[in-house]
Amino acid sequence: MGEATPLLSLRGITKRFGALVANDDIDLDLQRGEMLALLGENGAGKTTLMNILFGHYTADEGSIEIDGAPLPPGSPKAALGAGLGMVHQHFTLADNMSVVDNIMVGVEPLTRFRRNTAAAVAKIRALAERYEMDVSPYSLVKHLSVGQRQRVEILKALYRHTRILILDEPTAVLTPQESDHLFATLRLLVDQGLAIIFITHKLREVMAASDRCLVLRHGKVVFACRTATTSSEQLARRMVGGELPEVRRIAATPGDPLLELGGLSAENDHGYQLLDHLDLTVNAGEIVGIAGVSGNGQSQLADLVSGMIADFSGTFMLAGAPIEKPSPRQMVRRGVGRIPEDRTATGLIGDMTVLENLALESYWKRGFNRLGFLAAVPLRQRTAELLGRFDIRCAGADAPVRTMSGGNMQKLILARVLAERPILIVANQPTWGLDVGATAFVHQRLIEASREGAGVLLISEDLDELFAIADTIQVMYQGTLSPPIDPARTNAAEIGLAMSGQRDISQAMISARD
Amino acid sequence: MRLEPRAHTSMAMTILVPVGAAALALMSCSVLILWAGASPFLALTLLVKGSLGSVFALSETLTRTIPLIFTGLAAAVAFRAKLWNIGAEGQFYLGACAATWLGTGAIDLPPPLLIPLLFAAGAIAGGLWLLGPTLLKTRLAVDEVVTTLLLNFVVLLFVNWLVFGPWKDPMAMGWPQAEPVVDAALLPPLVAKTRLHGGLLIAVFAAVLFWVVMKYTTWGYEIRAVGNNQAGATFAGIPIDRVVIRTALLSGGIAGCAGVSELLGVKGYLTLDLSPGFGYSGIVVAMLAGLHPLGVLLSALFIAALSIGADSMSRALNISNYIADIATAISLLAVLAGMMLTRYRIRFR
């Protein structure tokens, strides 16, 4: 390359945080009409690089040029002015406002009293039509689907004359079909001369959609190439920096039912039906995967089995015994191991130590509680043993957990759960945001636990994860579950149809093949 | 200028922040003293002398330290659980009321039994007084900052009514004060010819006890877990409401003890000026101590020395003793800013 002046050019970007080099001499070129995939494990430096690009951080060394003109460092305003736009993974829209209000906010002149909404609406309509996005300017954001909201975010960027669009994990919240739609839209944009960077760790998307890819590892660019000349295996090896960890599948031999939910319904405080006459059985020794687009009741299902929802109707049986008024402590007592969706917000207590966090679900048990005092010696012994057994890297038993990496935090939670030898494990997004190595570790441990007789309820929005380790998959849609599907006899497209509510079609496709 | 999170906080930083805050407070007072027309150097010398410079000065400072340790602990334990008890002042007075009720002749016991009994009564009164706002918080999510603060005035009016009405001492020549407690209830002096009393030992013991509870017991563990991350504690199965109520009883109880200690150790009878705002100063003491029970000992001493020293300085130089209040306020602000600096570093571009 190097024929024309690149639209965006990063040269020798280096950023240090103390001893940690987050970005190490990174070069990046982006041409008009090009789609670049930025890959890397957690902590590889992708977020830091984007923060530097947008002026939230200042690079210690290096320079940024947009269309040949240097971009002043540390100025978000200059970055936006130069045509950089970002679509965040977690949308930055106000739910109670209309699409046009959301798009206009922040770009109106402060000195004008009246807003020129009509002009904005016309412009949004024109943009939406040009790029084939079905968004009505006057709908309220809260009435839009996740995919539509993402299109509003893209429109918002386009409205501001964005020339370089950056998307952070754009498909994390989408069904496979919605992802295809998104990439079709992005392709249209690129054809119009925009440049796009998308951050992801889903190799399938990289191979399908990008023109070029750039792999970051430990803050360095370890691999850059045209997508057509590489393979997902090669990219994965570059990301991990070696051979891929292998997860050993072991054949399942399902035993007695451990968790039985029958006609189970639950509402939230506002009377909104979150679980709707749901039936589910998890047997000993099997991993039941729950697929679904986020917000279809998966969190409530996990909360229910974790003992966080006390009010429900229907039957809730655990190991043959009914549960009437569940509480977290009761579920722990009855042998339910719980891996929550959000490790920092609910799984751990950040300012407390590794030892104290490992004890959270057992400190009250005999052996650890001596006349109201925490039994220091047994707790230390157990902590040391678990740190070793689960290969948890930390500064020691007395280090606060907030200083640990995401992968080690998740290992800590896994250790806390598995140390109690649970009969049932409910894991909600257990590998969300983890790197390949940590993901494989979590998967391996879940498989082992299930083969030793535990039932595993695995809730995940990542279809690859479900196909990798679940023995049977059920799709959640608006608080209900599809019948169990054998992962060996289906594919992502069929599951995706069920995720978007087309359960009958998906069932028909599966049975038609038999 | 921007803030960046620090990877870890060094021990030196943790100690340097409160000490630096104290130094900053004294320095900024120098400006005010200069403005008031006195020499800051002389004033600060007098302040130190007046608080620590003689046996008498030291004894006065330590006497003032006692109630601040109790109320400082009250704030420290409650704030650890994110229970914002601003009502230590009211709990202080209710503790004193309970001790007055039982200690003015209603019970006849020897000192070793009577004094602990009165402390227990004061603790129960203070603890129960905080229970109301706490139940409103756990059951109905009513903000305890508002309720505990406003209940202070309810208590003050109640005490006002008591000392002007049913409990008024007929021998007090018309002064609004209750009858004095019996001799057997008085805390013995620690140093002859000073006001320093045995309450100091109780306060220090309480601080050590609170430290042990917070660090080594399941109660303390639960309080810290609930305070640091309530959602996480709930998920782990810690009974949040029970922990918060327990914390309230501890916090209100120790604040009640402050009132008992002042009553039995300094005044001997209940009046409306038993506390010059010890309940509120306790908040400053706890914050300066970083909510650490043993740190409360030192920060209570600092605040006490500041106010005793400022009294003596203002008498000698004829400038207002409000200087002490300003120094207290500045040290609190400096600590709050400093605490942020222990977790973040400032970067200048």
- A211, A240, A269: which is the final residue of a domain? A240
- A419, A440, A457: which is the final residue of a domain? A419
Does any domain span residue B42? no
Dihedral (Cα; B246, B252, B255, B256), 10-degree rounding:
-110
**Cross-chain Cβ contact B349/A74 below 8 Å:** yes
Preferred mutation among B9, B11, B211, B235 to probe A, highest tally of A CBs within 10 A: B235
Does any domain span residue A366? yes
The pLDDT score that the predictor gives to residue A1 is 44
Does any domain span residue A1? no
Does any domain span residue A161? yes
> B211 φ, ψ to 5°?
-65, -45
Whether A358 and A253 share a structural domain: no
The pLDDT score that the predictor gives to residue B4 is 63
Q: Is B8 helix (H, G, I), strand (E, B) or coil?
A: coil
Distances (CA, A) of A300 to A53, A220, A304, B102: 38, 40, 6, 54
User: Are B314 and B294 in contact, with CB atoms under 8 Å apart?
Assistant: no
Any CB–CB contact under 8 A between A280 and chain B? no
Does any domain span residue B151? yes
Q: Enter the tokens of residue B239.
A: 């009974």
Whether A42 and A105 share a structural domain: yes
Does any domain span residue A410? yes
How near does any CA of chain B get to the CA of A347, in Å?
Answer: 6
Preferred mutation among A58, A303, A305, A346 to probe B, highest tally of B CBs within 10 A: A346
Whether A228 and A183 share a structural domain: yes
ipTM of the complex: 0.86
Distance in angstroms (rounded) separating the CA atoms of residues B169 and B173 = 8
Distance in angstroms (rounded) separating the CA atoms of residues A185 and A148 = 12
Whether B291 and B261 share a structural domain: yes
Whether A66 and A203 share a structural domain: yes
The pLDDT score that the predictor gives to residue A2 is 46
User: Are A225 and A212 in contact, with CB atoms under 8 Å apart?
Assistant: yes
Whether B280 and B135 share a structural domain: yes
Q: Which residues of B touch A346 (CB under 8 A)?
A: 231-232, 234-235
**Cross-chain Cβ contact A306/B234 below 8 Å:** no
Compute the Cα dihedral for A44, A46, A51, A52 and give only its sign. positive
Q: Are strands A373-374 and A369-370 parallel, antiparallel or unpaired?
A: antiparallel
Whether B197 and B216 share a structural domain: yes
> B15 φ, ψ to 5°?
-85, -40
Whether B29 and B123 share a structural domain: no
Does any domain span residue B174? yes
User: Are B90 and B279 in contact, with CB atoms under 8 Å apart?
Assistant: yes
Q: Which residues contact A333 (CB under 8 A, 6 or more apart)?
A: none
Distance in angstroms (rounded) separating the CA atoms of residues A252 and A446 = 12
CB atoms within 10 A of CB B341: 16
How does residue B220 score in pLDDT terms, banded at 50, 70 and 90? very high
How does residue B3 score in pLDDT terms, banded at 50, 70 and 90? low
Whether B96 and B183 share a structural domain: yes
**Contacting B residues, span 223-242, partner chain A, CB-CB under 8 Å:** 224-225, 228-229, 231-239
Whether A167 and A295 share a structural domain: no
Whether A235 and A251 share a structural domain: no
How near does any CA of chain A get to the CA of B86, in Å?
Answer: 24
Q: Which residues contact B287 (CB under 8 A, 6 or more apart)?
A: B75, B79, B332, B335, B336
Q: Which residues contact B84 (CB under 8 A, 6 or more apart)?
A: B78, B144, B145, B148
The pLDDT score that the predictor gives to residue A219 is 87
Say how many domains are in chain B. Answer: 2
Does any domain span residue A14? yes
Q: Which residues of A touch B234 (CB under 8 A)?
A: 308, 328, 346
Distances (CA, A) of A503 to A313, A372, A467, A482, A487: 25, 54, 18, 7, 15
Closest by Cβ to B235, choosing from A74, A340, A376:
A340
The pLDDT score that the predictor gives to residue B5 is 61
Whether A57 and A113 share a structural domain: yes
Percent with pLDDT over 70 in chain B: 96
Does any domain span residue B137? yes
Give long-range contacts, CB 8 A cutoff, 24+ apart: B118-123.
B118/B181, B118/B185, B118/B260, B118/B264, B119/B202, B119/B257, B119/B260, B119/B261, B121/B260, B122/B94, B122/B95, B122/B96, B122/B98, B122/B256, B122/B257, B122/B259, B122/B260, B123/B95, B123/B253, B123/B254, B123/B256, B123/B257, B123/B260
How does residue B7 score in pLDDT terms, banded at 50, 70 and 90? low
Beta strand extents in chain B (DSSP E only) = 2-5, 344-347
Whether A233 and A268 share a structural domain: no
- Mean pLDDT value of segment B7-33: 77
Say how many domains are in chain A. Answer: 3
Nearest to B17 by CA among B341, B304, B343, B347: B341
Q: Which residues of B touch A15 (CB under 8 A)?
A: none
Q: Compare all CA atoms of chain A with the CA of B217 and give the residue at the minimum distance.
A: A373
User: Are A428 and A298 in contact, with CB atoms under 8 Å apart?
Assistant: yes
Closest by Cβ to A356, choosing from B4, B221, B349:
B221
Does any domain span residue B314? no
Q: Compare all CA atoms of chain B with the CA of A342 and give the residue at the minimum distance.
A: B232
How near does any CA of chain A get to the CA of B289, in Å?
Answer: 18
Q: Give me the CATH number covering residue B100.
A: 1.10.3470
CB atoms within 10 A of CB B276: 10
Whether B1 and B127 share a structural domain: no
The conformation of residue A82, written as its DSSP 8-state character, comes to: T
Does any domain span residue A3? no
Whether A369 and A508 share a structural domain: no
Whether B30 and B53 share a structural domain: no
> What is chain A's Cα-based Rg?
25
Preferred mutation among B3, B6, B221 to probe A, highest tally of A CBs within 10 A: B221
The conformation of residue A320, written as its DSSP 8-state character, comes to: T
Whether B134 and B32 share a structural domain: no
Whether B84 and B166 share a structural domain: yes
Q: Enter the tokens of residue A363.
A: 């400190």
Q: DSSP characters for B20-55?
A: HHHHHHHHHHHHHHHHTTS-HHHHHHHHHHHHHSSH
Distance in angstroms (rounded) separating the CA atoms of residues A35 and A210 = 5
Q: Which residues contact A174 (CB under 8 A, 6 or more apart)?
A: A146, A147, A150, A182, A293
Q: Which residues of A touch B223 (CB under 8 A)?
A: none
**Cross-chain Cβ contact B237/A328 below 8 Å:** yes
The pLDDT score that the predictor gives to residue A300 is 92
Whether B302 and B323 share a structural domain: no
Any CB–CB contact under 8 A between A349 and chain B? yes
Give the range of the structural domain holding residue A499, as residue numbers without chain letter.
245-335+422-514
User: Are A367 and A375 in contact, with CB atoms under 8 Å apart?
Assistant: yes
Closest by Cβ to A18, choosing from B7, B235, B239:
B7
Does any domain span residue A233? yes
The pLDDT score that the predictor gives to residue B8 is 62
- A192, A210, A240: which is the final residue of a domain? A240
Whether B267 and B327 share a structural domain: no
Whether A476 and A492 share a structural domain: yes
Whether B264 and B215 share a structural domain: yes
Whether A203 and A317 share a structural domain: no
Q: pLDDT tens, position by position, for chain A (514 residues)? A: 445 788 999 999 999 877 778 899 999 999 999 999 998 877 788 888 988 998 888 889 999 999 889 998 888 888 988 999 988 877 888 888 999 999 888 777 777 777 788 888 999 999 888 888 888 889 888 888 778 888 899 999 999 889 999 998 888 777 778 888 899 999 999 998 899 999 987 788 888 889 999 999 888 999 999 999 998 888 888 887 877 777 777 777 888 999 999 999 998 777 778 899 999 999 999 999 999 887 788 989 999 999 999 899 999 999 999 998 899 999 999 999 999 988 888 999 999 999 999 999 999 888 899 889 999 999 999 999 999 999 888 888 998 898 787 888 999 999 999 999 999 999 999 988 787 788 889 999 999 999 999 999 999 988 888 998 999 999 999 899 999 999 888 888 888 888 888 877 787 877 777 6
B331 versus A118: the higher-pLDDT residue is A118
Does any domain span residue A408? yes
Whether A359 and A486 share a structural domain: no
Distance in angstroms (rounded) separating the CA atoms of residues A388 and A381 = 11
Q: Give me the CATH number covering residue A264.
A: 3.40.50.300
Q: Enter the tokens of residue A37.
A: 């995939």
**Cross-chain Cβ contact B228/A327 below 8 Å:** no
Element at A260 (helix H, strand E): strand A257-267
Distances (CA, A) of B46 to A84, B26, B310, B312: 62, 13, 8, 7
Give the range of the structural domain holding residue B26, as residue numbers without chain letter.
1-37+319-349
